[in-house]
Structure 1
Amino acid sequence: MTAKADIKRIAEGIDSQFGDEVTAFFDRETGDVLFITGEDRNAVEQGDPLDSYPEWQHEMLETAKMITNDTVGL
């Protein structure tokens, strides 16, 4: 089932774009706006192991992996 979209959250995601540094994606399943940095996306595309990054960065890298692999219907 498709989630209901919160137009305010989508607009905030669009407004918070920081050039090439941060990109926002809309998750059609949850209605969430997800953000990833170009650095996180590059790390995922290069296949860098998760444990080569600090623990605080793992969640962001998992999000980047999900977006890059388009496992959530973005």
Structure 2
Amino acid sequence: MTCTDEVFGKRNDGLIDPEGGTQRASLLLWTALHGIVSLRINKDAIDWPDPHRLAEEMIDAIIRPRPCPADRREH
């Protein structure tokens, strides 16, 4: 399954706003995943976590963002 296939599935599940479009969501995912790879190469002194786990967490954060803790506080 490709990233775009995954994004199309999430859109159909109602997890991605159709107004933003699947192309936009795919580009966000691609950019984020490219960043994981690029940073691991260019900042090799950092003790990076497992790249697969980091990528899955990144995808979840983009597709299913959690509310900011400040947004959850009652006013």
Greater fraction helix: 2
TM-score band w.r.t. shorter chain: under 0.3
> TM-score of the superposition, structure 1-length normalised?
0.27
